[in-house]
Amino acid sequence: MKQILIFILILSAFVFGQQINRTWGYTTAGIAYTQTGSVNADSTTEVSIVFDLQDWYSIDWNPPVYTTTFDIGVSGDSTLAQTVVGNSDALMLGTLWLRQDAQNATDSLAVLVEAFPGNMIYHPGGTSRITAANINFSTTAITIQDSTNLAKGDVQWTPYNIYLHASSRILPPEFVKVTFEQKTTADDSVDYFWDFAYPAVYQSQQEQRTSRGTIPTKSGATLH
């Protein structure tokens, strides 16, 4: 019986062959971000980061949400209220760890973070999958963060889940683009640092697959 259990555990390790990858992503031109980490952005700058999801591992995770609250006791007795927990229609892609800081003491941050799914529409046969001509991104934004107010020196790593909405469970797009946009002109200069963590297939398995082009160089990513 013990041997059977060990066999099942070993087998499951191959079936559920996943790891957590971390990457800083790429520009829309396919250039890897090298995290000296920040983009020194002024109020007119929109920072765009493209994450290649070719090695994303499906965990079929729809975050739980509170759907409704109802009274199970005497009418008006709120102590007997019960909350139903269900699953949202959000497909979880990964977690964006974001650190942002105003550079000047007179500034404060009001930053809009949005996500846009995208798929490849053209590939010239080269090695890079990410170019402006290769990918078509949705013009419908998914709001990740809206109007966070931080002062100079108020720096902390904050996690934001990157997700897609759907009426039913879906598989992910090939790419997702995340943008940072300052909402006020008072934000003269901002430092952004980010790190995207997502479930991925084992790197050894990913290197054996074939596809329309390969993942760009991982010089801008750290894989664990």
Positive/negative CA dihedral, 26, 30, 35, 40 = negative
Residue 207, pLDDT above cutoff 70: no
29-38, 51-60, 62-71, 129-138: the lowest-pLDDT one:
62-71
- % pLDDT > 70, the chain: 60
CB-CB contact of 142 with 116 (8 Å): yes
Q: What is the pTM of this model?
A: 0.73
pLDDT band at 8 (very low <50, low <70, confident <90, very high): very low
| 158-189 per-position pLDDT tens digit | 899 898 877 667 788 999 999 988 877 665 67
pLDDT at site 10: 45
CA distance 169 to 99: 31
Q: Give ∠ CA 21-54-26 in degrees, rounded to 5.
A: 70
Q: pLDDT at position 34, please?
A: 81
The whole-angstrom separation of Cα 146 and Cα 113 is 6
Mean pLDDT of 49-68: 76
Query: How many CB atoms are located within 10 Å of the residue 174 CB?
Result: 18
Q: How far apart are CA 110 and CA 145, in angstroms?
A: 10
Query: How is residue 114 written in tokens?
Result: 């949005």
- Rounded to whole angstroms, the Cα distance separating 222 from 209 reads 20
Condensed to tens digits (0 to 9), the pLDDT of residues 109-154 reads 788 899 999 999 877 666 678 888 889 999 998 898 886 677 778 7
The dihedral through the CA atoms of 133, 135, 138, 144 has a sign that is negative
Q: What is the domain class of 19-62+91-223 according to CATH?
A: mainly beta
Domain parsing of the chain, residue ranges: 19-62+91-223
